[in-house]
């Protein structure tokens, strides 16, 4: 678990945008497109693809609890902006996501 924790924590702390996603997941594809280099040029980002049954998903659920009202977030993608857990694809379009994205564009 320590390697998983290090991989996740580094992706979040070393980048303005971190997206943990699954191939074939429509919301994951949409989030990656929204947060693309084209839309946010020069912003550091990490896209981490996870496979089905990946132990990383368990750690993401646990890590998201602190910034999700104590409830684990359970669906893909998992999006962090400026080290703040935003949620998933629909959440990046909500007020919390828009505010976080405006801050990295400034």
DSSP 56: H
- Residue 3 host element (H or E): helix 2-13
Q: What is the pLDDT of residue 8?
A: 96
Structure tokens at 36: 């693309």
Give residue 1's pLDDT: 65
pLDDT tens by residue, the chain, 106 residues: 689 999 999 999 999 999 999 999 999 999 999 999 989 999 999 999 998 777 899 999 999 998 888 999 999 999 999 999 999 999 999 999 999 999 998 6
Quick check: 17 and 44 in contact, CB under 8 A?
Answer: yes
pLDDT at residue 101, as a whole number: 93
Return the CATH superfamily for domain 2-105: Glutaredoxin (3.40.30.10)
The SS3 call for residue 87 is strand
Instruction: Give kind and range of the element (H or E) at residue 18.
Output: strand 17-22
Beta-strand relationship, 45-50 and 17-22: parallel
Decide: 50 and 20 in contact? Cβ < 8 Å: yes
């Amino acid at each position: 678990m320590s390697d998983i924790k290090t991989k996740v924590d580094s992706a979040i702390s070393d980048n303005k945008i971190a997206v943990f996603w699954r191939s074939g997941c429509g919301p994951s594809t949409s989030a990656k497109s929204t947060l693309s280099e084209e839309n946010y040029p020069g912003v550091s980002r990490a896209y981490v693809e996870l496979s089905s049954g990946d132990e990383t998903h368990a750690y993401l659920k646990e890590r998201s609890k602190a910034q999700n009202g104590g409830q684990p977030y359970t669906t893909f993608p998992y999006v962090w902006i400026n080290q703040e857990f935003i949620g998933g694809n629909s959440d990046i379009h909500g007020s919390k996501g828009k505010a976080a994205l405006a801050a990295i564009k400034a």
